[in-house]
Structure 1
Amino acid sequence: MGLSRRRFLQRLGAVGGYGAAYSAMTTLGLMAATSAGAAPRLPANLGSGRTVLVLGGGVAGLVAAYELERAGFSVTLLEARERLGGRNWTLRGGDKVEMVGTPDQTVGFQDGVYLNAGPARIPSHHEGLLAYCRKLDVPLEVEVNSSRSAYFWAAGSNGGKPIQMRQGVNDTRGYLSELLAKALNKGALDQELSADDKARLMPFLRAYGDLDESMAFKGTERSGFSELPGAASQFGSPRTPVPFSELLANEQLRSTLFEDMLYMQATMFQPVGGMDRIVAGFERGIRSPTIRNAEVTRIRQTATGAAVTWRDRRTGVESLAQAEFLIVTLPLNILAKIDTNFAAPVKAAIANVPYDYSNKIGFESPRFWEREQIYGGISFVGGETSLVWYPSNNLHSERGMLLACYGSGPGARVFADRPLGEQMEIARSVVGRLHPGQEGLLEKGVVVNWSKIPFNFGPWPAYGGQGGQEGHLDHPSYRLLNEPQGRIYFSGAHLSQMPGWQEGAVLSAHRTIGFIAERASQTTASTGRRSAPAA
């Protein structure tokens, strides 16, 4: 008797697990191949009779709950805060900012003005997160991540002045092109280039650096006009170039490469109305219980799954939740303080990961920067405040939110130790030096020191003492915690190669979902029946 496709897939699943069956279904054309970042496609009844408990309502926890409930699992999500979203946090008028060791702040922004306290942009190659924006009907708009009208300036050093980004980029390119052309003419690169290569390279350098006929850089209209073109015979004149030595002496010169980094390349997006519109989309889409103000105090791995004790932060009442599978998306520094019975190496791995530092300070203000032709983008100022970030939304409206500080790393730790008022005044003064006379327009300041935010105490991990929003992570703790521990799974952006990006949370959640799907399918295939859910 011939073997039906359904029976074949059942037997393949029994031998190779869900992953093998899924691959075979894709190969046979029974399931469409998915693009990068796409969620695992799970059978709708895969989790029937099975329970999953998700700890943490950030993006990773929301993705896990959303996908697993659609595969038939009975899902419960516990979140310690009053809100969902984790680091995806948008501040609007009336919101409270609570930080350990500082007075609470009440946001005073007018309607339509908001601060994305956590993530504030989405790269176009973050296909996993963008797919959820499409699926959850979250409207997007372009986030202007780079403006050639903005500035770079070593605010913390003596002397110097802000240099407009377009002039810094194009003057530097002109000088370097001239130097390379001189080296070619002197035969300094004859060992590296053939005569044909040199013949082709010289005209390219002239175009690349906008050099004159003698291959010298004398300035370029790419860097801006000293006299604007106008009607009739009013011809435009290029600016006088910034001296090369002045460019090289500017500590922020490398910021001219900002938009060349893949994570910062156009096109960038933001949800219309604030980053937390993504969270709102998940809230609309998730039907499973999402219990807020549920602070986890105890985790126990059991013979049938996991048991979690949690305390209602409003009433103080403790409750017990049990499930066959447990997904832990809590930051590692928070998890380290919870009573668990994890194996000693796992406990050590969790405890050994410090967290980085990051600060944001936003002000409401009339849009004076637009009078300087700055529409979105960033001015890089260095020092303790690092940058000034201009809003991309509601252009030409009366008021907007100016981000006057976004600094991370060791310097951010020292800055966060200052009183809130002092932090705001430093940020305000830098804006005033960058845009003289405008500092008095900055109102309703709000400070977010992520190292002081409860249930985070840091923006992202610093494996081996090295922080950063993305990288090539291969620390022993990172490797261990990326593997299942029985029926307990650790997940989140901190367990991806993009710990500072929401895409990392999405992809980590997808990986975890795949582990659970494979475990569930193996159990079903080997027993021929569903195992009973944990009590």
Structure 2
Amino acid sequence: MDANTIKEQLQLINSQSEKKHITILGAGIAGLVAAYELESLGHTVEILEGSPRIGGRVWTHRFGNEPDAPYAELGAMRIPSDHQLTLHYVQEMGLADKLCKFMTVFEESNAKMNINGQVLKMKDAPRTLQLSEGGLLTDTRYSEQTRNFAAWLKTIINTIAPGNLRSDFERDLQSHLMDELERLDLNPYFSEDGETIDLHSFLTQNKSFRAKCSQGLDIFLGDIMTETSHDLLQLKGGMDQLIQRLATSINADIQCNAEVVALRVEKDHTQITWKQNGQLHTTNCDYVLCTIPFSILRKMELSGFDGQKLDSIHNTVYCPGTKVAFHTKEAFWQQEGIKGGASFSGEGVRQTYYPSVKFNPERGSVMLASYTIGDDADRMGKMSEQERFDYVQNTVSKLHPELNERGAIVDKASIAWGEYKWSAGGCTIHWDDSESNYLAAQRPQNTLFFAGEHCSRFPAWLQGSIESSLEAVRDIVKHKPATKSTAVNTISRTNRQLVTV
């Protein structure tokens, strides 16, 4: 359903509803979209944000204060072209002219790969992998086409997947996937020169292949279909432009550094306690929309929640993600014909992305030197920041020795989302019984509602956060309040309990 249809439905429901006061917990994309839509429907909103900044896991790091300073996306960095809800808000916030192509993995044939210490161009990697690993990849019981395709698949999964799924793929390949590939007609999925494959088309047109994969690998391949798509977009100038435009489009007061520590669900209201400026504040709220990740929520004092909801909060699995960005004196990789896309740097660094937008050469350039998820991200996240920088520089310099030249790296930035206080994870993983997971996550508790990527069919994407936010708005608007047994306060009133801590 498109955003305009959803909004028409909201208007219809809203016409039969009384005006409400809603306290939103979290000023990420889910919280800001909800505030924007609730206000447009005539409701009153206020926002508490625990961290010192807004945006949640949308975080554009700028290397300088100049308008044209180069930047890196430490959080969300791409928008699939079929994520219509996300694109709707990009357009509504006047940013449609900023949309441009995001060149992703395997789109740049000159990008590099480190295989067992041997550095070569991406297009040459599968053949080298066959020669170095042997085994099934050189087993003459299978056709050359099958062996080549399997080598490409393994190259792609080695590049993108966390360690446990790389192991799953190897196990599936050994037991039955090679036989499945041999059965299929693979010719349509090779490029004319035979050097690359169209993985997106293969997975779309051969659902039987994914059905024969282990469950976690099957769902991950679904993610790969998006990640390797040729139709990914980005916002030139930074993804945080969407956050800033939303924030300036709402009247709601956004209180940062307001750390929620307790939620108590009652029949006709929700009581929240938060810490701010060394004081504890407690108040009762008519309606609360919680967009706080469950990885943080489960550390709070929670009461009045039913058992099924608590199970969802405590059992939702989060995947760590770690990014390291280098501000470089110049875009030296362009001299090797690399215009974007990503290299595979090996070891625990995984993917190295190059900008596919142009920066002012006088300001230098930026490479996302390392983007990892899963166990690789966890190991790197537990390093000190300096250790992380040194490790990434040492690893990526095997692809790009220029990084070790004096003055080549001007500045550095990193984020380990698994260690970040306000998320304790990069995104949720719905790799088991996904529908019941997200439906349980979004299910309200009386007047306490929930939204965020963890409450959606699209974990890890802005689309999921936005969709769940709109669903929560609908549920809040149509909710019929219970008969109030006590007076209900709002954050803006002065009769709060204050306790110095």
**TM-score (normalizing by structure 1):** 0.68
Unaligned 5+ runs, structure 1: 1-32, 96-108, 182-191, 193-197, 211-219, 224-256, 462-466
Letter in 1 for 2:380: F
Q: What pairs up with 1:481-492 in 2 under 5 angstroms? A: 481-492=441-452
CA offsets per residue over residues 78-125 of structure 1, 9 Å max, x none? 111222110011112469xxxxxxxxxxxxx99511121111111101
* CA deviation map 1:391-433 (0-9, x unaligned): 1121573521101111110122122222322221221122221
Query: How big is the alpha-carbon RMSD for the aligned residues of Structure 1 and Structure 2?
Result: 3.8
Residue type matched to 2:52 in 1? E
CA distance in 1, matches of 2:248, 2:222: 36
1:280 alignment partner in structure 2: 244
1:419 alignment partner AA: S
SS of 1:81's equivalent? coil
Partner of 1:300: 264
Q: Is 2:386 the partner of 1:416?
A: no
1:457 matched to 2:424? The reply is yes
Indicate the structure with greater helix content.
Answer: 2
Task: Give the drift of 1:352.
Answer: 2.9
> Would the aligned equivalents of 1:49 and 1:532 in 2 still touch at CA under 8 Å?
no
Contact 1:358 1:413 in 2 (8 A): yes
Query: Match of 1:86?
Result: 56
Contact 2:20–2:44 (CA<8 Å) still a contact in 1?
Answer: yes
Superposed CA deviations along residues 477-525 of structure 1, whole A, max 9, x for unmatched, are 64433212112112110111322111110111112122223324xx69x
Which of the residues 286, 295, 304 maps onto 1:333?
295
- Distance in 1, matches of 2:290 and 2:485, equals 22
| 1:519 maps to which of 476, 479, 488 | 479
Partner of 2:411: 444
* Distance (Å, rounded) in 1 between the aligned partners of 2:414 and 2:300: 28
- Of residues 86, 91, 99 in structure 2, which corresponds to 1:134? 91
Counterpart code for 1:492? G
Please identify, of 323-332 and 389-398, the stretch whose mean Cα deviation from structure 2 is larger: 389-398
Do the aligned residues in 2 keep the contact of 1:471 with 1:497 (CA within 8 Å)?
no
| Matched positions, count | 412
Change (3 A) 1:476 1:288: same
Alignment of 1:186-335 (within 5 A): 205=187, 210=192, 220=193, 261-312=225-276, 315-335=277-297
Mean alpha-carbon deviation: is it higher for 488-497 or for 303-312?
303-312
After superposition, the Cα gap between the structure-2 partners of 1:515 and 1:344, relative to the gap in structure 1 and judged at 3 Å, is: closer
Which whole-Å CA distance do the structure 2 matches of 1:396 and 1:290 have between them? Answer: 34
Q: 1:363 to 1:488 in 2, by over 3 A?
A: same
Contact 1:361 1:424 in 2 (8 A): yes
- Which has the larger displacement, 75-84 or 40-49? 40-49
Tell me the distance in 1 between the aligned counterparts of 2:341 and 2:24.
Answer: 37
Change (3 A) 1:133 1:427: same
Q: Say if 2:70 and 2:360, in contact at 8 Å, map to a contact too.
A: no
**1:419–1:303 Cα change, 3 Å:** closer
Matched, 1:42 2:10: yes
**SS of structure 2 residue aligned to 1:451:** coil
Larger Rg: 1
Structure 1 residue 161 and structure 2 residue 119: aligned?
Answer: yes
CA gap 1:65/1:504 in 2 versus in 1, 3 angstroms: same
**Aligned partner of residue 500 in structure 1, secondary structure:** coil
Q: In the alignment, is the contact (CA less than 8 A) between 2:48 and 2:258 conserved in 1? A: yes
- Is 2:74 the counterpart of 1:117? yes
Distance 1:37 1:471, change over 3 A: farther
CA drift of 1:321 comes to 3.9
Q: Does 1:76 align with 2:46?
A: yes
Structure 2: segments with no counterpart, 5+ residues: 131-139, 148-179, 197-220, 490-501
